[in-house]
Amino acid sequence: MEDEIEFFVRYSETDQMSFVYHGNYVKYFEMGRIAWLNKLGFSYKKMEEDGILLPVIDIKINFKKSALFDDKLILKTKLVREPSYMIEFEYKIIKNDDLITSGYTKLIFLNSKTNRPMRCPNSIIEAIKMV
């Protein structure tokens, strides 16, 4: 399943050279994951309230071209494989039909009470299978 969101680069996301500061791409990927879960019918906030945390344990970013203030970007977020204890996403950021950044994150399902890994909730797996 893939989800797509559009957004504009805000001035506060740029550095002194007017380029998007590299750390903001991690935030963009987070926006993509939250939108992906919402499209599937799940709220990140509700999951946390229910005792499910999703910390990032691996991240990769490949910068190809720059993004600047007020650029319109398209972020594509795609599930890599059916989740188990972990969930993995691939990202593509597009500007004017050009791929400018790609990335990957791996997150682990964590029980907030025990701080121990847990399996992906069946409700999420079933929702993925329905798409």
Residue numbers annotated as active site? 15
Among residues 87, 60, 86, 90, the alpha carbon closest in space to that of 78 is found at 90
Sign, CA dihedral 35-39-45-51, equals: negative
Q: Is residue 77 a contact partner of residue 112, using CB atoms and an 8 Å limit?
A: no
